[in-house]
Structure 1
């Protein structure tokens, strides 16, 4: 399987400028106005007036960048636009219809059809489903029509007004300043009083148990089934994963972090802390690298090795600790190729910690939606591949004293398999542990956070906790009576599965 090339890594970062909602808004607004002016042959306005009009919307671009309007808060975005119509009462219908058409062309055809066909092999008819996903989407990407539409319609209307011959006179600028002050106050009040569903931050660093003098396990394997929605997992036929969770310890209320974006979640899972501390606040990473230690740093302190096999995006936070896989391949073979690469890494490097990211489920959710059979089928394929890899590890003698963890980094909401704002289906993720030192048949109903994964791995492998790890060790899953002479045979999976 190919590694992600340098070009793919750069391309992934560039794509995030259009994929992530915050940078998309100014890029789309400016691009739309430029294209509109170009197409108005013979009627092009004075460039100085265009630039003056643009300067007039810069404060609003900043406000929209600073404040999220997630989930039901996006409905309030129409109020400033209504206020604009009441104050200035000027609409360029041609410009707005052009913008709406361009937006749906970008999301439904370019992204939802052309891009996904070239990257993962979806049908050229994917637009027949994708348009519905764009209308229902509730995540933090550019595909969230209910958030993007009121934003760029207001921005373009104000820009067009400021470009007109009457433009921003002294009186108009005063009104505009008051208008922006009102929007700023409006956004602040909304977020202070209504934006209250983020997970609570654990206030202290990991201190619920000391790291043992001797490692509990020789190996820890973590299989991250990216974007696996918990209730859809429950509906799928997954005999192997079901066996692991029922004969190990399952955390039924394992909570992801906010925003629930892949690079953010992985950064939190393997540093043990939150975006405000590790510095990765979206998939759009402006400054590469973590600000804190990761589990890989902790393992290096005791001469042990960790390996993370994942997509190019993860390089932005974990750097050389990531063994990249190309995400440009047909989705039907993506996870198969990843498993084969995982085997090769284990054969050649024999890491003490191996983390494997399976991407097929997440990509299907994004391209085809999570409430369709396609998504269930990908979860079932992941079950078969995890089983195959587990049995391969046993045959190679790699599971003599181990813990095997299966989880998702985030769930997915309706729409374009949306995730980010913790809509229904995103917050709680499948999470269970199995192995020699893990209690059998235990279900933990109390709420826990994925930030506990880093410190738990440290505990099992006898490494110091990452320097900013806040998640408590999941000690209620770990046996205190581990028999050193217990054999692999005690943990061999029945062949009937």
Structure 2
């Protein structure tokens, strides 16, 4: 199985410019305006007026970059647009219709059909479902029509107002626009201060200060973590997963394991394996502006005691974890992705025999994004993951790799309705499947208390006799751990 090439890593980072909502909004708005006015930009005067008009709309670009308007807050985005229309009723309807058409072409046909067909083999008819997913999607990505359209319409309308005035030799109503911006800024600030109140509460102290002392002798020789990317909890419970059910019934299951905010894959993995939050490790979205986390990772902790960990995943995890990641190409058919991933996992264990091994299974997440989470396609991927994990664990047992090994199975985040959105913790995203199994793990325990995925790194440290990552804030999952080894 191929590793992700340098080009694929570059392409993955570039694609996030169009996937993440914050960079997409200005890129799409500027591109739309340029295409619409291409005929007006044939001379120096037209280009100058176009750029001067852009300067008048820059404050609004900045405001919409700072304020996401996620989840239900997007419903309020139409209010500034309505106020603008009342103040300046002469809208360029053709421009807005052009923008809407271009937006749905990009999301439904280019992204939802063409891109997914080339990358994971989705049907050429995927657009017949994808348009409904774009209309329902709630997270702040480019595929959130109810957030992106009112933002883009207002940005284009303000830009068009200034450009039309300059092109006609009139003055731009700067004072009125400034007053309007003041209203938008105050409106956004009040909404986010008083209504944006659903972020998980972070643990305040550090594990090294408040957590239990790490045992002098490690409890587990090895720890294997299988992350089923994007597995929505209640859909997992609905699926027929006999092997995973057996693991969680004969181990310890955390019934209220909470992901981090924002629930993006690179953010979640960074938090899971540093033990802390985005404000500390520095990875705040899949769009990584500065490579590498700012804190120690579990891999750094293991190196201090002469042990080695490896993470197997797709290209963008390198942005956070660097050389501790073995990459695989994400350009593969959705029905082969997890099979190939676990084949590569066997090869790494054969050749490197790491003490900690983490593997990211991506098939469920891919199908959730391309086909939606409320359809049978998604359930089928979860059931496929169950069968593949069974084969993988049985292989580990046959190779003698499970004798004193703790196995953790979890998701990094769930997925909401629409295009399997995740980030701002809509229904289906916040709480994830999480269970542990092994000779030092209590059997048949169901933990009701709410915990956070930041607990994974310090729990691994405790099991493997390594110091806690220096910035870890997670609580060690002591409900699951027992000192006596279960020989049964």
The reply to whether TM is greater than 0.5 is yes
Tell me, in whole angstroms, the C-alpha distance in 2 between the residues paired with 1:279 and 1:301: 23
Supply the distance in 2 between the matched residues of 1:41 and 1:140 (Cα, whole angstroms).
32
**In the TM superposition, what whole-angstrom CA distance separates every residue of 1:159-202 from its partner, at most 9, and x where no partner exists?**
00000135797771111111111111111111110000010011
Question: For residues 161 and 208 of structure 1, do their structure 2 counterparts lie closer, same or farther at Cα, with a shift above 3 Å needed?
Answer: same
Deviations 1:320-366 (A, max 9, x none): 11000100000100000000000000000000000000000000000
The structural deviation recorded for 1:39 is 5.5
* Whole-angstrom distance in 2 between the partners of 1:292 and 1:234: 35
* Distance across 2 between alignment mates of 1:363 and 1:153: 30
In structure 2, what is the Cα distance between the partners aligned to 1:386 and 1:460? 22
Equivalent in the alignment of 1:478: 481
Match of 1:442 in 2: 445
Aligned-pair CA distance for 1:67? 1.0
Q: Is the 8 A contact 2:53 2:166 kept in 1?
A: no
1:493 maps to which residue?
none
**Structure 2 gap segments, 5+ residues each:** none
Q: Does 1:355 align with 2:346?
A: no
Match in the other structure for 1:204: 205
The within-5 A match list for 1:200-239 is 200-206=201-207, 207-239=210-242
1:336 maps to 2:339: yes
Q: Is the 8 A contact 1:37 1:44 kept in 2?
A: no
Contact 2:40–2:46, Cα closer than 8 Å, also in 1:
no
Task: Determine the C-alpha separation between the residues in 2 that align with 1:224 and 1:401.
Answer: 20
Pick the aligned partner of 1:425 from 425, 428, 436.
428
Q: How far apart, in 2, do the equivalents of 1:81 and 1:317 lie?
A: 38
SS class of match (1:307): strand
**Residue 14 of structure 1 aligns with which residue?**
14
Stretches of 4+ moved more than 2 A in 1? Answer: 39-45, 165-171, 480-483
Equivalence map 1:20-419=2 (5 Å): 20-38=20-38, 46-165=46-165, 172-206=173-207, 207-419=210-422
Measured in 2, the distance between the counterparts of 1:10 and 1:321 equals 18
Residue 469 (structure 2) aligns with: 466
RMSD (Å) for aligned C-alpha atoms: 1.5
Shift of 1:209: 0.7
Distance 1:65 1:247 in 2: 47
Give, in whole Å, the separation in 1 of the partners of 2:298 and 2:427: 30
Aligned residue for 1:451, secondary structure, equals: helix
Q: Is the 8 A contact 1:38 1:44 kept in 2?
A: no
Runs (5+) with no aligned partner, structure 1: 491-497
Contact 2:219 2:483 survives alignment (8 Å) = no
1:49 Cα offset (Å): 1.2
Structure 2 length as normaliser, TM-score?
A: 0.97
Residue 208 of structure 1: how far off its partner (Å): 2.4
SS in structure 2 at match of 1:179:
helix
Residues 41, 277 of structure 1: alpha-carbon distance in 2 compared, 3 angstrom cutoff: closer
SS in structure 2 opposite 1:58? helix
Give me the TM-score of the superposition, normalised by structure 1: 0.96
CA distance in 2, matches of 1:181, 1:127: 40
Deviation at 1:47, TM superposition (A): 1.3
Tell me how far 1:90 sits from its aligned partner: 2.1
d(CA) in 2 for partners of 1:22 and 1:427?
A: 21
1:37/1:45 contact within 8 Å kept? no
1:298-328, Cα deviation, whole Å (9 max, x unpaired):
0111110000000101000001110001000
Partner Cα separation in structure 2 for residue 204 and residue 115 of structure 1: 44
Count residues with an aligned counterpart: 485
